[in-house]
Amino acid sequence: MQNALLSLRTFLPVIAFFGGFIWDTLTIGRHVGVWDLFILAGYLACAAAMLWWLGYRHSLQLEPSKLERIPYLALQFLFGGLFSALFIFYIKSASHVLALLWTLGLAVLLVANEFIEDKYRRFTLTWTIFGLCAILLFNFLLPFIMGSIHFIWFYLSTFAGALLVYGLRQVTPGRPGRIGPVWLIAAVLALAYPLDIIPPVPLVKRDIQVGLELRRGAGEYQLLVDKTTPLSFWQLLRNEIHMTEGERLYCVSSVFAPRGLSTRLYHHWQYYDRQQGWVSTERIGFELEGGRDGGFRGYTYKQNVSAGEWRVKIETEHGRTVAIHKFAVITGEPDVARVLIDIL
């Protein structure tokens, strides 16, 4: 029993950390809010102050004490808070394989944060983690403030995050450690952005569905879809749509956007061909203005859609992928009932 308690005590920091992660998931908001970003900016400011203090203390070459671990634990807590929140933001934005790999990288850092406490004494690693937090936060913050998702804001925010680390190290007593890895991270992100590896934050997908007979009224959007079967009760909706000749197939999407942002999004319709892969048929645009808590909705439609595998990509003006929805079109009457669903 005592050994079990000791083992549990060993993993308490991990349990607490993931408890905080789940709490952040529930409380950080359904969209990226101003208050969320203020809190994260406060975390970053506290981490910067803590780094300066650690550099100052290191320059004094004081004797080790029992209280020596406290600043490192505080820094660990701050980095953990930043990583967990940023991971939640990015996982909400990521909707395809490359972007999910990116968020997986954040997840690895989030978990590793619990096991590298002693390594914070290595100032180079500390600067690197701080720089990554600063860059990722600025990637959200600058487009949010400017009300624009133009690619220039991503590059400027990435440079600003790296520049913050440089400036902080310049004023830190003794200038401990190196910040070369921070500039390397900034360069990698700058190269990854045009490859569509990084989600187009701060746009966050709320919902995307395809169906028949779009109905609108009193601010509500409804679609007619095939009902789930008892064998697939764990799914909210089927990914199959039965259509007859002449019917329209609608795609309705809901996307969170910063207040004041005005941009144009696109529904990129594609079908799967065994020889050619995904083949584009149409790229239809619709306007988006940010600020609505429930997400801003837009829709497009196609008529006489052929049977087979399809997908609709929500894209920005510059081709950045916000979300992907895959489904299968089957010709003929459905073998199950149809139901109306609300689009969030």
Q: Does the pLDDT at position 5 exceed 60?
A: no
Beta bridge partners of 338: 226
How far apart are the C-alpha atoms of 323 and 93, rounded to whole Å?
A: 8
**Encoded tokens for 292:** 């609505």
The alpha carbon of residue 134 and the mean position of all alpha carbons in its chain are separated, in whole angstroms, by 16
pLDDT band at 47 (very low <50, low <70, confident <90, very high): very high
**Encoded tokens for 170:** 């310049």
Average pLDDT, the chain: 78
- The sign one gets for the Cα dihedral 94, 99, 104, 106 is negative
- pLDDT value of residue 251: 92
pLDDT band at 1 (very low <50, low <70, confident <90, very high): low
CA nearest neighbour of 85 among 136, 154, 148: 136
- Give percent above pLDDT 90 in the chain: 26
- pLDDT value of residue 171: 94
Under 8 Å CB-to-CB from 168, ≥6 apart: which residues?
48, 51, 52, 130
Query: Each residue of 186-239: pLDDT tens digit?
Result: 999 999 888 887 778 778 777 888 988 888 877 778 888 877 665 554 444 457
Query: Each residue of 100-143: pLDDT tens digit?
Result: 666 566 666 656 655 655 555 578 888 988 999 899 899 988 88
The alpha carbon of residue 254 and the mean position of all alpha carbons in its chain are separated, in whole angstroms, by 15
Between the alpha carbon of residue 151 and those of residues 98, 196, 320, the distances in Å are 18, 12, 10
Going from the N-terminus, what domains does the chain have, and what CATH number goes with each?
2-195 (no CATH), 204-342 (2.60.40.10)
Check residues 49 and 225 and name the one with the higher pLDDT. 49
Query: Each residue of 275-330: pLDDT tens digit?
Result: 999 999 999 998 765 555 555 778 899 988 899 999 999 998 888 888 889 999 98
What are residue 259's phi and psi, to 5 degrees? Answer: -60, 130
How far apart are the C-alpha atoms of 108 and 116, rounded to whole Å?
A: 12
What are residue 254's phi and psi, to 5 degrees? Answer: -130, 125
Task: For strands 262-273 and 277-289, give the pairing.
Answer: antiparallel
The torsion region of residue 291 among left (phi > 0), alpha (psi -120 to 50) and beta comes to left
- pLDDT value of residue 19: 56
CB-CB contact of 248 with 297 (8 Å)? no
- pLDDT value of residue 234: 47
CB-CB contact of 138 with 37 (8 Å)? no
Q: In terms of C-beta density within 10 A (0-12 exposed, 13-18 middle, 19 or more buried), how is residue 120 classed?
A: buried
- pLDDT value of residue 155: 95
CB-CB contact of 312 with 208 (8 Å)? yes
- Model confidence, pTM: 0.75
Helix (H, G, I), strand (E, B) or coil at 50: helix
